[in-house]
Amino acid sequence: MASSLLVMKVTSCMVAVLMVSFGHIIPLAEAEIPCGRVQITVAPCIGYLRGPGGGVPAACCNGVRSINKEAKTTPDRQGVCRCLKTTALSLPGLNLATLAALPSKCGVNLPYKISPTIDCNTVKH
């Protein structure tokens, strides 16, 4: 009996810690898409963006299309832009021309080029 109570308390504490730790990834009621979720969704693109080019991996395009569909408002789009810009600046070895061409290669039409110098405040839905 005492051990099952201990297990319940430990489990409750672990859930609380995970909710606090990953709160930036699991949205509660936010206007913008959390950057952690954007990064996880487009992570399959990193190898492609560092490589010599070639075909875009399906998982990469699926992530790009998913984030594009989810970003429905101007604040969403600007938040995704800021996240991608910051992430691109922190990842060495990215081919910037490949990065700029990625959305169109995945069938996503954006009215701007993705680059580390983009002014995300000008991005509209």
Number of structural domains, the chain? 1
Domain of residue 44 covers 34-122
- Are 93 and 50 a contacting pair, CB within 8 Å? yes
Give the chain's largest Cα–Cα span.
62
**107: in domain:** yes
Q: Which long-range contacts (CB under 8 A, 24 or more apart) does 96-99 make?
A: 98/48, 98/49, 98/53, 99/49
Structure-model confidence comparison of residues 8 and 113, the more confident one: 113
Q: What is the pLDDT of residues 103-112, one digit of tens each?
A: 999 999 987 8
25 DSSP assignment: T
**43: in domain:** yes
User: Residue 24: pLDDT band by 50, 70, 90 thresholds?
Assistant: very low
User: Residue 36: pLDDT band by 50, 70, 90 thresholds?
Assistant: very high
**16: in domain:** no
Instruction: Say if residue 84's pLDDT is above 70.
Output: yes
Alpha-carbon distance 37 to 56, whole Å? Answer: 20
- State the chain's mean pLDDT as an integer: 79
Q: What is the CATH number of the domain that holds 96?
A: 1.10.110.10
